[in-house]
Amino acid sequence: MVKPETFAWFRSEPMSLCQLYLQTESVYHIVSLLGDKGICQFRDLNQSSNSFQRKFVAEIRRCAEMERKILFFEKEIERDGVDVVKINEKFLDIPSMKDLGQLEQQLEKMEHDLLNENGTRLQMKHRLLSLTEYKEILKKADQFFNEAQSDGPSSNKSMMRRMSVVDPDLMRRFSMHMHQPNQIPLEPVIELATMTGSILANRFMAFERMLWRVSRGNILLKRIDVEEMLEDPETGELQQKCLFILVCQGEKLRNTCQKICTGFHAKLYSCPEQRGERNAAHQKVLSDICDIQNVIARTDEHRKNLLVAIANNLQKWKRTILKVKNIYETMNMFRNDVTGHCLIAECWIPSCQIKEARLILGQGQTMSNSLGLSVLAILTTNETPPTYNVTNKFTAGFQVLVDSYGSCTYGDVNPAPYTIISFPFIFAVMFGDTGHGIIMTLFALWMIYKEKQLKSIRNEIFSMFFAGRYIILLMGLFSIYTGAMYNDIFSKSANLFGTAFNVNLDVPENITTELGQRIVHLSPDKHLDENFRYYFGIDPVWQIASNKVQYTNTYKMKLSVILGVLQMFFGVMLSMFNHWHHGDLVSIAVEFIPQIIFLLAIFGYMNFMIIFKWFTYDAGRGGCAPSILITLINMFMFKMPEEKDPCYLKDEMFTNQFKIQSVLIILALLTVPIMLFVKPFYLFFKHRNIQKRSSAIIYDQNSFELENSSSNHNLEIENIGEDIESNSNGNDIIANNNNNNNNTVKESNNGHDNVQMNEFDFGDVLINQAIHTIEYCLGSVSHTASYLRLWALSLAHAQLSEVLWNMVMTAGFMEFKFQYGYIASGVIMFSIFAGWSFGTVVILIVMEGLSAFLHALRLHWVEFMSKFYHGDGYPFEPFDFQAKLDEL
């Protein structure tokens, strides 16, 4: 893990583009050590080559083949329910090529042994299934042939009713054949064929129908259901099978029936017609079944021992192969040196870790006994580096919330540290209930306490909750705080410090509500103790007040606006730090300062009036308290009060209020053209001055090159004449001269291209600035209104909680007057409390909590982060073994 510098959590880490010259014999160890540290993000220097044209493709194929074997082992282990031994080693030793070869041979041998065991076991299972079916056929055949050999036509009729028979003459012949097999028949001999076999029960009806159609009813077919389910050797699933005995006449029909049996995947067995032969076959089958079961038991035992040996080392093998494969995949991104003795790599490294990276190069050189020297050089580049924000297990969840919107631009302020406080607090403003906050906090504490055990759970939904356990913890704690501030515990208030109102009054009996309860009007100017205030939160007397909703609505509405403007103001302040960090002083002068003035002149002044009104106007002056909404409307319309207006319109909250309001609105309007026009015109004049200077430099260079080429041309003509006179080859000299001139022209053209690359379009810049200005001005209004969702969600949560209490929980507070009525009351209370608890957790905590979470997320992404956050960077994704091993 990278150690952060001072204030690194508030801004991304400085990054450096480095070039590594790695000796061929030490590159493997160096890459492995860098992967253990996880401080380098390598760049692919062979993008033009596909994966099959790279240097280490053979090694990667070997690793892929070993991964295939590991996957085969995992399936076999999972099928047999063998426990895999987990290892706690964070880092493994760097495997050498010799160790990798030995591991490859070991895996190949184990795969061969396991395949042999599986083949033998499968063969024995098939044999056992066949013998089991044959045993059932022999057992049921006795009954069938005994009925066929019995005397009398009544026996034949009874047998015909239990069999699929169409031709009675066939049945008569079969009975005579079984009753007197050695007697010379009086009629022409027609051969009868008997076939026995097994078929899946769900295929028998179609099988029977096909036989009937093909034979035109000239068959005898008896179905015998097998009571026990038989295991399929291929899949291990239990299947319902049935046995059949088929009698047909003629060789041709016999062959046809055999083909039908083959088509329906029916197994045929040879069943003797004589009872003695059947008894002998039955005894032999029983003996064979016993022998095969013993063989299968020994095979299973040997196979399990093999799987246990594999399971003890499976995790280690898996990590080793993954590590080696990632090393070679990374090395495939390197470029070969011209000499072939070293590999060249480029990578992004945090600037604070360059020293450690150089130490790793030395360690890798020592481990590989390399005589060559590996070098790390820092490159100068104009490329935008990746963004790397240092996190730990507490801050990682909040960083994910921010990065889900978009990766932070390199060098900009990271909003995640501020989100640690602002996000759960904004959530709690909408969710505020002390009871619900306690439940949420306990759930988060349970996940933190069971962190090691729960970390291995791969359920997608639970993994999201577990990853945000610290977010849930802070959301619960802040909900306890805001619930205490609202004095709301499961929709009820707690009277901890008494009330500031005098509620011990004599109320006339005729003043009642529909429910028969007495009511009284408490006026703050008459029944309020001015020397006492409720120490924290809302006075509990409001819990039983009929105008509770109106009071809490006003309070929460104004609180939402104050919090929203403060968060937007903080976001604009953070934009100043971004401008300062990038040296953009112009944006500070013509964007940041006007934005601050615009925001404070309108919405900051609105917040000031809300707070000033709280401190200035009490119950005695409530009639003349000005409406802040009407004051803002008159402020934008430059409308001054008239004498005939009521006091809440014409009275000033403070001296010169209307004049100050006019000045503020004028300042806000003046900032709009400053934000819109100043920066585009500044960039226009700046670019024009740069273009003039560049043109002058290019003109001087061209003049100088033209003079040099003219003098050189005259000198070369004289040399050519001398060479011709001395019988020299003048054509070569002229060709060389032309080549030199062409090169000069190309260099000159390249210079012009470099100047024209940075083109400036004033129209595009002005349109872009206009979009940002309009977005900020209109967004300030819409975003302020958007923060009213804090009030709306808080109201909805409080009302749902109150409805659930009044409609469900209150029904359990009943008392029965009959004997043992308290038992019935307890049973009813227990049942109702269970329903109320279920509704509280599912509706108010899970569903309402998810709603408040999404609204808080939107307020941070749009209303807060839009003031300073661009999100056009790309994340730092280092080559890190631990991150890849965590995915296993």
What φ, ψ does residue 281 adopt, rounded to 5°?
A: -65, -35
Tokens for 870? Answer: 């661009």
Q: Reply yes or no on whether the pLDDT at 715 is more than 50.
A: no
Query: CB-based burial of residue 367 (10 Å sphere; 0-12 exposed, 13-18 middle, 19+ buried)?
Result: middle
Q: Confidence class of residue 142 from pLDDT cuts 50, 70 and 90?
A: low
Q: What is the 3-state secondary structure (H, E, C) of 357-421?
A: HHHHHHHHHHHCCCCCCCEEEEECCCCCCCECCCCCCCCHHHHHHHHCCCCCCCCCECCHHHHHH
Tokens for 77? Answer: 């282990």
pTM over 0.85: no
Residue in 87, 126, 85, 456 with CA at minimum distance from that of residue 307: 85
Q: Which amino acid is at 430?
A: M
CA distances from 170 to 59, 162, 184, 206, 248 (A): 72, 15, 18, 23, 8
- The Cα–Cα gap between 405 and 487 comes to 35
Quickly list DSSP for 90-154.
Answer: SS-----HHHHHHHHHHHHHHHHHHHHHHHHHHHHHHHHHHHHHHHHHHHHHHHHHHHHHS-SHH
pLDDT of residue 61: 93
730-757 and 679-725 helices, crossing angle to 10°: 180
Q: pLDDT > 90: what percent of the chain?
A: 41
* More confident: 189 or 859: 859
Q: What angle do CA 146, 149, 151 make, to 5 degrees?
A: 115
Q: What is the 3-state secondary structure (H, E, C) of 267-303?
A: EEECCCCCHHHHHHHHHHHHHHHHHHHHHHHHHHHHH
Residue in 179, 269, 166 with CA at minimum distance from that of residue 224: 269
SS3 category, 206: helix
Q: Reply yes or no on whether the pLDDT at 678 is more than 60.
A: yes
Sign (positive/negative) of CA torsion 209, 214, 216, 218? negative
CA distances from 825 to 492, 821, 831, 832 (A): 23, 6, 10, 10
Cα 745 to chain centroid, rounded: 56
Q: Confidence class of residue 321 from pLDDT cuts 50, 70 and 90?
A: very high
DSSP β-ladder status, 219-225 and 241-249? antiparallel
Query: Which run of H or of E encompasses 434?
Result: helix 434-449
The residue-averaged pLDDT of 217-233 equals: 81
pLDDT of residue 96: 78
Sign (positive/negative) of CA torsion 530, 534, 540, 545? positive
- What is the number of residues in the chain? 888
The residue-averaged pLDDT of 283-309 equals: 90
196: left (phi over 0), alpha (psi -120 to 50) or beta: beta
- The Cα–Cα gap between 563 and 820 comes to 55
Q: Confidence class of residue 701 from pLDDT cuts 50, 70 and 90?
A: low
DSSP β-ladder status, 241-249 and 267-269? unpaired
Q: What angle do CA 839, 844, 848 make, to 5 degrees?
A: 140
CB 402 within 8 A of CB 415: yes
The residue-averaged pLDDT of 702-720 equals: 50
Q: Confidence class of residue 751 from pLDDT cuts 50, 70 and 90?
A: very low
CB 879 within 8 A of CB 326: yes
SS3 category, 817: coil
pLDDT of residue 507: 53
- Range with lowest mean pLDDT among 138-152, 214-228, 323-337, 582-596: 138-152
